[in-house]
Chain A
Amino acid sequence: MSESESDGLQALLAAAVRRHLGPPGEVRELVRLTGGATRATWSFDAIVGEDALPLILQQSAGAAAPATEAPIEGDIPRVLGARDAALLAAARRAGVPAPRVRIVLLPEDQLGEGTVTERVQGETLGRRINTDARFAGVRPELAAQCGAILAAIHRIDPAGVDFLGTQTAADQLATYRRVADLDDHALPAVELGLRWVAENLPGAARACVVHGDFRNGNLIVGEDGVRCVLDWELAHVGDPMLDLGWLCVKTWRFGGPLPVGGFGRRDDLFRAYERAGGGPVDPAHVRFWEAFGCIKWALMCMHRGLGAVRGERRTVEAVAIGRRIEEPLLDFLDLITGEGD
């Protein structure tokens, strides 16, 4: 992002703040944050009346990234803009610490699709959450806090968010099969993974609102624990055990020694989920989603890496993600062969 692009954004954002929140709408401390591989996230303070409001601008891929990322968009529906805002509101009503939305961007804002939410203080970087001394006291509590939050997410009334599509495990397998075929990078490990998933699909599961990307890195953590759950764009109606398994995928442990996000134990997660009314947890069922999660992440890496090569703009971040494909594939092999145990 060049200086002039950043200036352009600042002016548009100030106009949007005036339009939605009131004058003077001055924008200060505009900083692009590092997270969000598919979306641009900005931190800023907005002057409204006498107050300086700490806010976050989240622009969805349509505005922030080249259109060449489109192929996966059609396959994996994303919850963006006004729908994202409605989902966040429903989550807050269910007792989930989700961002409070202040602005849903409109076409006249010229900032693409997206939202402005209140900024919550805390750490999002997984490695820091797992290693910084200031989180040492709360780290042993995080897995249980995640279990209770997931139970609340799975209680969100689907009727209130009827725009969410349903995706069963079989639907997701079909989606990722299409991604693998689209990218046409024949890897024996990927084929092993997709076949294992097909042969181990769980039987009928409950259908709940699931977050879809609940993991270390999408949580804001403070010294008191999890303060906010971010990045709801992959939310859908599906098997709630997906969220528990995804949280255990090794990629999201950021080098931490424990299986739940690098910071906690599966038992603490499962027991807290059950205590909070999430329903009984079958560890083998969660492990299916952890293993499938490895394959999904591998194909996301492949798709982003090769998509960038196909497209007009090869960002260094995208090509680097392409080279991460072997990490989850090896983790998957460890899981299904019991090597890691």
Chain B
Amino acid sequence: MPASKPEPAALLEATIDYLERELLPTLTGYHRFQCRVTVNVLGQVHRELQLGAAQAEAEEARLRALLGHAGERDQLNRELAARIRAGEVPLDDRAVLEHVRLSLMEALRINNPKWLEPTGEP
């Protein structure tokens, strides 16, 4: 199947643009809130299209290095989760903490980049 044009990102951009610039200003209350959430969700899909594949590859590579064998990302994540649950990884294991932090930050770059900005006192 030939790749259809315009590409998915362009469809999303146009949709977000309509919702945000044209529809949202006409809404109040419940529907204004729902429309804002909808715009955010479409933004997540847009960023996942851009960043998702590279992030998946990077996470898989880190998991292979941590666990010392090959495998697919979901399966390796499951294994790491099971090892942590079973107490086979110390809670202060620097390599595991660093990997988990990187994975969370990557996901936040898609789901809510603003969460990564510094905010005042802890």
Contacts and interface: CB of A to CB of B under 8 A. Distances in A.
Interface string A182-210: 00001111111011100100000000000
B77 interface: yes
B29 A189 contact: no
A320 B81 contact: no
Contact of A326 (B77, B104, B120): B104
B84 interface: yes
Interface in B89-112: 91, 96-97, 99-101, 103-105, 107-108, 111-112
Contacts of B55: none
Contacts of A188: 77, 80-81, 84, 96, 99-100, 103
25 contacts: A31-B29, A32-B30, A33-B29, A34-B29, A186-B81, A187-B77, A188-B80, A188-B96, A188-B103, A191-B81, A191-B82, A192-B84, A192-B97, A250-B119, A255-B114, A256-B119, A258-B120, A319-B41, A324-B112, A326-B104, A326-B115, A333-B101, A334-B122, A337-B97, A340-B122
Contacts of A334: 122
A320 B37 contact: yes
B112 A186 contact: no
* Chain A contact residues: helix, strand, loop or mixed: helix
A39 interface: no
A191 B107 CA distance: 17
Interface of B is mostly: helix
B15 interface: no
Contacts of A32: 29-30
A127 interface: no
Interface of B: 29-30, 32-34, 37-38, 40-41, 44, 77-78, 80-82, 84-85, 87, 91, 96-97, 99-101, 103-105, 107-108, 111-112, 114-115, 119-122
Interface string A310-341: 00000011011001101101100110110011
A266 B25 CA distance: 38
Contacts of A336: 91
Interface of A: 1, 31-34, 186-192, 194-196, 199, 250, 253, 255-259, 265, 316-317, 319-320, 323-324, 326-327, 329-330, 333-334, 336-337, 340-341
